[in-house]
Amino acid sequence: MKVLVIGIGSMGLNHIKVLTQLKKENLVTEVYAVDIDRQRLEIAKKQGADLVFTDAHDALPYKPDLGIIATPTGLHYGIASELIKHMDLLIEKPITERLSEAMDLYRKSQALGRRVLVGHIERFNPAYRALINEIGNEKPMHVETIRAGPLRGNPQSYGNVLLDLGIHDIDLVLNMVYSDEVKIIGRILRGNPVSTAWALLNVDETIYILHASWDYETRIRRMILTLRNKYYEVDLLNKSLIHNGTRHMIEGIDQLRQELTHALNVIRGIENPIIDITNAIKTLAIVEGMISSKSTINLGELLR
């Protein structure tokens, strides 16, 4: 399995490091890196990349099986539109900056028969997985999430705080409670681009309160759930689950390693995708609905 990583920033470099480990285990045969910055490419080579390129087109003759797009969000669509002609893709979240772009990628993936996975890495968080195992198919009556901390880097690279942070929690909630129709009861958005957001949503009769912010000094990644006779708190950052007042520390394999191993197995046909382009489109539709002040998002109509 040959893997091409496009964008050797901090996340792209993390991909290179894990892929190099997986290469030692014979799960990957070659690792290629692409970036316009030659210094970053030198770092990628030191971390284990077999070949490096300043243009992704130069890597195509080597026939990568999987392309990982880890560039700033605004570049995702243009790069993915070209690479999808040649390989399956794993795109860091959010899949694209705009819903219309994601929909176009979906149509292209369907026409070409390509798999498009999306890097919502919190799906692989051991504390979240422990929660899912605990609640099973029972739907929570109330969910509250807070994801906050100082912004690292240029806000233009992330779009806004909902695309950067909030979209993670929206995906986690939709995975627990899915509905064809999501109602946005209220929202408060601050900053330009939006740096702090509060929203109140109704997802299949589950009340969901979201808070995402770049304006905190302390990093917070937390969920609270109320079921009929159960109460849970999840600390996604410190990997703990509190059930009815008792805290349980949750151990697990590195999330990025899990995500990449899963992606490779999906490409091989061994596993079904945990999160693909359709999930990413639905989360992006909710974010776009919040920004544009929609009251109802018809998720069931998006992919018809």
Per-residue pLDDT of 244-295, as tens digits, reads: 889 999 998 899 999 999 999 999 999 999 999 999 999 999 999 999 999 9
Alpha-carbon gap, residue 273 to 117, rounded angstroms: 7
| Contact (Cβ atoms closer than 8 angstroms) between residue 204 and residue 139 | yes
Enter the tokens of residue 15: 């991909």
36-80 pLDDT per residue, tens: 999 999 999 999 999 999 999 999 999 999 999 999 999 999 999
pLDDT for position 158: 81
CATH 3.30.360.10 domain span(s) along the chain: 122-252+276-301
- CA 121-268-281 angle, to 5 degrees, is 40
User: Rounded mean pLDDT of the chain?
Assistant: 96
pLDDT band at 157 (very low <50, low <70, confident <90, very high): confident
CATH 3.40.50.720 domain span(s) along the chain: 2-120
CATH class entry, domain 122-252+276-301? alpha beta
Residue 292 to residues 168, 189, 253, 263, Cα–Cα distance (Å): 19, 11, 38, 33
Alpha-carbon gap, residue 44 to 48, rounded angstroms: 6
Per-residue pLDDT at 154 exceeds 80: no
Q: Is CATH 3.40.50.720 the right assignment for the domain spanning 2-120? A: yes
pLDDT for position 76: 97
**Amino acid, single-letter form, for residue 188:** I
Segments of the chain assigned E as strands: 2-6, 30-34, 51-53, 66-69, 88-92, 116-119, 142-148, 181-190, 196-203, 206-213, 220-226, 231-235, 240-243, 246-249, 296-298
Quick one: which of 297, 161, 131, 289 has its CA closest to 224? 131
Per-residue pLDDT at 155 exceeds 80: no
Average pLDDT of span 157-164: 90
Residues 6 or more apart whose CB falls under 8 angstroms from that of 216 comprise: 148, 149, 150
